[in-house]
Amino acid sequence: QKQGDKIKIGFSQAMTTDDWRKQMNNSIKIEASLRPEVDLRISDANNNIEKQIADIEKFISNKVDVIIVSPIQSKPLTAVVEKSIKAGIPVLVVDRKIDSENYTAYLGADNIEIGRIAARYIVTHSKGSGKIIEITGANGSSPAYERSLGFDQVINENIRCKVVNTIHGDWEGESVKAPLKAILLQNPDIEYIFAHNDRMALSAWETAKTIGLEKKIKFLGVDGLNSVNGGIELVKNGVLDGTILYPTGGNEALKLALKMYNKEPISKNNILNTIIIDRNNAEIIGNQMDKVNQQQAVIESQQGAIKIQESEYASQNNLVRLLSFF
């Protein structure tokens, strides 16, 4: 197969500094490697909106067949996605949304539901002051908005628990430290901290530890990665009380993009499953994920063996052809 005959899929990734996005890229690459007809191109916007717009413009001018995008922020990425649709290139929006309905399909977990699950967990487990600090993701990104929406909805319906402070984080741990320390010094009787991802939840725990409050406060995060310092490990070693699984959907994204290319019917909204991970199921879920990874490794090594055989076969064929000249 020539490069030019391949199905060109352009993936505009928001950034790749954190493990969640690394895993997402990894799983989309694995899925693509199983399909020799696919030419997957990933561009990394480095969390820079202008760069992400330029990356997508480039996919449009290179006439890729399908664009996948995880937008850094909703509003500023809307126009370029609409431009792609106008140019006849279907767009699959993943994880974070844009500000209009003008895209082909969306794939991601339900972030409003994630907020609600966190709130229900706190409401049913709270035995203390009921005082909560919420730490949000970056302003302008849809999961931050939606996780807050669902969380506040459930907390506000309840009389025992109350969000007494909101810290506007930026998805990274550093953004949490100074504001949280100031708040905790004033309000040491906080019972729960809900952070919109595990990196900020870990940072909140570390901050509380500097003033000796890490055992009094309970921490919840989102993502539930099965990796070193990932949410599952943090739950297993008692740093987090719980985390809500936010699957990256990398492999599903590639499958959907191919369906879009083949003009197969798909739903506009493709919702990935989520689940609360706490001390009761962290071990089991971690083990299941390990098993899937092991099977993946077997598939990859089998693929490697097939490739070697293919190239050996090709060189033997060449030899046969060469010999037939004599």
Residue from 8, 10, 13, 21 touching ligand FRU (CB under 6 A): that is: 21
- DSSP annotation of 273 reads P
Q: What is the CA radius of gyration of the chain?
A: 23
Nearer to ligand FRU, 11 or 246 (CB): 246
Of 19, 26, 15, 16, nearest to 229 by C-alpha is 19
Q: With both helix axes pointing from N to C terminus, report the angle between 282-323 and 19-33 in degrees, rounded to the nearest 10.
A: 40
20 scored as a contact of ligand FRU (CB under 6 A): yes
- In the region spanning residues 113 to 142, those forming contacts with ligand FRU, defined by CB under 6 A, are 137, 141
Residue 195: what are its φ and ψ, rounded to 5°?
A: -105, 145
The size of the interface with ligand FRU (CB under 6 A), counted in residues, is 13
Residue from 38, 73, 96, 118 touching ligand FRU (CB under 6 A): that is: 96
Residue from 39, 55, 65, 95 touching ligand FRU (CB under 6 A): that is: 95
Question: Which sign, positive or negative, has the C-alpha torsion 34, 254, 230, 171?
Answer: positive
For residue 232, which amino acid is it?
Answer: I
Nearer to ligand FRU, 22 or 35 (CB): 22
- Token representation of residue 324: 């037939």
Of the CA atoms within 13 Å of residue 77, those in its CB half-sphere come to 29
Closest-CB residue for ligand FRU? 197
Of the CA atoms within 13 Å of residue 248, those in its CB half-sphere come to 21
242 scored as a contact of ligand FRU (CB under 6 A): no
- Return d(Cα 306, Cα 31) in angstroms, integer: 16
- In the region spanning residues 248 to 307, those forming contacts with ligand FRU, defined by CB under 6 A, are none
Q: How far is the CB of 223 from ligand FRU (least distance, A)?
A: 5
- Return d(Cα 207, Cα 188) in angstroms, integer: 12
- Return d(Cα 50, Cα 318) in angstroms, integer: 49
Residue from 94, 246, 256, 266 touching ligand FRU (CB under 6 A): that is: 246
Of 186, 183, 180, 184, nearest to 201 by C-alpha is 180
Of the CA atoms within 13 Å of residue 309, those in its CB half-sphere come to 6
Residue from 66, 81, 107, 222 touching ligand FRU (CB under 6 A): that is: 222
Instruction: Determine the interface stretch with ligand FRU among 17-25, 26-34, 257-265, 277-285 (rule: CB under 6 A).
Output: 17-25
Binding mask 174-213 for ligand FRU (x = CB under 6 A): -----------------------x----------------
18 scored as a contact of ligand FRU (CB under 6 A): yes
Instruction: Determine the interface stretch with ligand FRU among 13-21, 33-41, 152-160, 310-318 (rule: CB under 6 A).
Output: 13-21
Q: With both helix axes pointing from N to C terminus, report the angle between 111-125 and 142-156 in degrees, rounded to the nearest 10.
A: 40
Of 13, 19, 20, nearest to 40 by C-alpha is 13
- In the region spanning residues 25 to 54, those forming contacts with ligand FRU, defined by CB under 6 A, are none
Instruction: Determine the interface stretch with ligand FRU among 15-23, 28-36, 49-57, 205-213 (rule: CB under 6 A).
Output: 15-23
Nearer to ligand FRU, 243 or 251 (CB): 243
Residues that bind ligand FRU (CB under 6 A): 18, 20-21, 95-96, 137, 141, 143, 171, 197, 222-223, 246
